[in-house]
Amino acid sequence: MGSNEMVMVPEIKHTKLFINGEFVDAASGKTFETRDPRTGDVLAHIAEADKADVDLAVGAAREAFEHGKWPRMSGYERGRAMHKLADLMEQHTEELAALDGADAGKLLLLGKIIDIPAAVQMLRYYAGAADKIHGESLRVSGKYQGYTLKEPIGVVGIIIPWNFPSLMFFLKISPALAAGCTVVVKPAEQTPLSALYYAHLAKLAGIPDGVINVVPGFGPTAGAAIASHMDVDSVAFTGSGEVGRLIMEASARSNLKTVSLELGGKSPLIIFDDADVDMAVELSRLAIFFNKGEVCVAGSRVYVQEGIYDEFVKKAVVAAQNWKVGDPFDVATNMGPQVDKEQFERVLRYIEHGKSEGATLLTGGKRAGDKGYYIEPTIFADVKVILTSTRRTRQKVYTSCYSQGENN
């Protein structure tokens, strides 16, 4: 974290939009910066998609769906292509984990043993399902035959967040590809690098042109264009509730496209007197500080019954102080930097809110180091809460609130 430390920067090979099987500049020629959260330095200049580029990507996806071979392949053939893409991902695990590490501040080690393998497993799961999409025969009255036939919906717009760039990419595209759909993906503007690399690998795997299109850009422009596009049949989004509402509205105002939303939430932990305190401390630490708190189900509140409250708080403070903050490419690091300057400043503002509202700061609360977007693991106690439960066990609960970034 010191200003004199050297950081490893992976080679950035792909910075343009991926439309119809080719890497191309944005129609406007505009680019935006993606920065390394370890230093704040620019990693690359990325082509910035706007409505015109989304139109081109959707047009390519529509052509591939209506006239291309992907929806007309057997499920077995689609599955084979998806498995080939998974094979290429496994061959490039180190490089892919490094891209997410440098772009998002994620731990390189966990990327290699969790994020990329989980993305591969997700893709292989749906590859195996591609030839198992069946309808049903229905018993109906009279001299009639009833049956259902499941068909691909068409062009799917996909908008993913920055906290798990690889996992979210394949969580969304894998079922769409298995069904025979074509996709237009807008990765988060903070973390476009791995999505572009996956597009390159998809081309190498033999997935036909136009089936996967990747258009990095910003929500109010590229994202809005996808959500309101008359030729997008379905849109999938993971992110904030506020943006989820905008996507539902845009979808309704356009062509009533189907919408799949996964939105952020608050996830309290409740720990009772009969719990194993050491285990509870370790699990609560992991629940909030894993992935530097940038998890939509991060355990940002901990309710502890009064019989073990003091012991829990004392041990939780020590655990937080032992959680090493540092370069995510260092195998000894537990927590890297927040994803970008905006998230870094948001977390620091939340910490200041906690102080101003009378909560007791037990540990952390400051920037860690003098460079990059690192923040000390932080715990508040004596947080003012309103308890609505009438159950006695809940009325006796106290709270110890961790503060770190959340993806909502």
- Is the backbone of residue 119 left (phi > 0), alpha (psi -120 to 50) or beta? alpha
The answer on 201 and 83 residing in a single domain is yes
Residue with tokens 């390394």: 36
Residue with tokens 């081109």: 56
Q: Where are the beta strands (DSSP E) in 118-219?
A: 137-138, 146-147, 155-159, 182-186, 212-214
Edge-to-edge strands of the sheet including 258-263?
Answer: 22-24, 17-19, 212-214, 182-186, 155-159, 234-239, 258-263
Between strands 397-403 and 378-381, the pairing is antiparallel
Residue 383 is predicted with a pLDDT of 87
- Which 3 state secondary structure label does DSSP give 44? strand
- Kindly state the average pLDDT of the residues 245-272: 93
The answer on 344 and 246 residing in a single domain is no
Residue 396 is predicted with a pLDDT of 34
Residue 398 is predicted with a pLDDT of 37
* End-of-domain residue from the set 244, 263, 282: 263
Q: Please state, in angstroms and rounded to a whole number, the distance separating the CA atoms of residues 90 and 116.
A: 8
Q: Please state, in angstroms and rounded to a whole number, the distance separating the CA atoms of residues 342 and 310.
A: 35
Between strands 17-19 and 22-24, the pairing is antiparallel
Q: Are 216 and 189 in contact (CB under 8 A)?
A: yes
Run of H or E including 179 = helix 165-179
pLDDT in tens, 171-209: 999 999 999 999 999 999 999 999 999 999 999 999 999
Structure tokens given for 43: 């990693």
Residue (of 86, 172, 74, 176) closest to 132 by Cα position: 74
398 beta partners? 304
Residue 352 forms part of a structural domain: yes
The answer on 304 and 188 residing in a single domain is no
Residue 73 forms part of a structural domain: yes
Structure tokens given for 29: 């020629």
Residue 400 is predicted with a pLDDT of 42
Residue 395, pLDDT above cutoff 60: no
Q: Are 63 and 69 in contact (CB under 8 A)?
A: no
How many structural domains comprise the chain?
2
Q: Are 93 and 117 in contact (CB under 8 A)?
A: yes
Residue 355 forms part of a structural domain: yes
The answer on 275 and 204 residing in a single domain is no
Higher pLDDT, 103 or 140: 103
Run of H or E including 303 = strand 301-305
The question of whether 77 is a catalytic residue gets the answer no
Between strands 268-271 and 258-263, the pairing is unpaired
Residue (of 338, 329, 403, 331) closest to 369 by Cα position: 338
pLDDT band, very low/low/confident/very high, at 111 (cuts 50, 70, 90)? very high
The answer on 51 and 165 residing in a single domain is yes
Residue 12 forms part of a structural domain: no
The answer on 229 and 85 residing in a single domain is yes
CA distances from 73 to 70, 120, 172, 199, 400 (A): 5, 22, 20, 20, 55
pLDDT band, very low/low/confident/very high, at 6 (cuts 50, 70, 90)? low
The answer on 352 and 275 residing in a single domain is yes
Residue 125 forms part of a structural domain: yes
Q: Where are the beta strands (DSSP E) in 146-214?
A: 146-147, 155-159, 182-186, 212-214
Looking at residue 185, which CATH number applies to its domain? 3.40.605.10
Q: Please state, in angstroms and rounded to a whole number, the distance separating the CA atoms of residues 193 and 220.
A: 20
Q: Please state, in angstroms and rounded to a whole number, the distance separating the CA atoms of residues 333 and 342.
A: 23
Residue 297 is predicted with a pLDDT of 87
Residue 3 forms part of a structural domain: no
Residue 44 forms part of a structural domain: yes
Q: Where are the alpha helices (DSSP H) in 254-328?
A: 277-289, 306-321
Mean pLDDT score of the chain: 92
- Kindly state the average pLDDT of the residues 360-384: 94
Q: Are 182 and 209 in contact (CB under 8 A)?
A: no
* End-of-domain residue from the set 235, 263, 291: 263
The answer on 182 and 134 residing in a single domain is yes
The answer on 371 and 250 residing in a single domain is no
Residue 5 is predicted with a pLDDT of 55
Domain that holds residue 288: 268-399
pLDDT in tens, 280-339: 999 999 999 999 999 988 998 999 999 999 999 999 999 999 999 999 999 999 999 999
Half-sphere exposure of 132 (CA within 13 A, CB side): 6
Given the residues 262, 342, 352, 376, the one annotated as active site: 262
Q: Please state, in angstroms and rounded to a whole number, the distance separating the CA atoms of residues 297 and 137.
A: 40
* End-of-domain residue from the set 242, 263, 284: 263
Per mean pLDDT, which range of 50-54, 288-292, 342-346, 385-389 is the poorest? 385-389
Residue 392, pLDDT above cutoff 90: no
pLDDT in tens, 26-78: 999 999 999 999 999 999 999 999 999 999 999 999 999 999 999 999 999 99
Residue 405 is predicted with a pLDDT of 47
Residue 404 forms part of a structural domain: no
Looking at residue 357, which CATH number applies to its domain? 3.40.309.10
Residue 97, pLDDT above cutoff 80: yes
Q: Where are the alpha helices (DSSP H) in 205-305?
A: 224-228, 241-253, 277-289
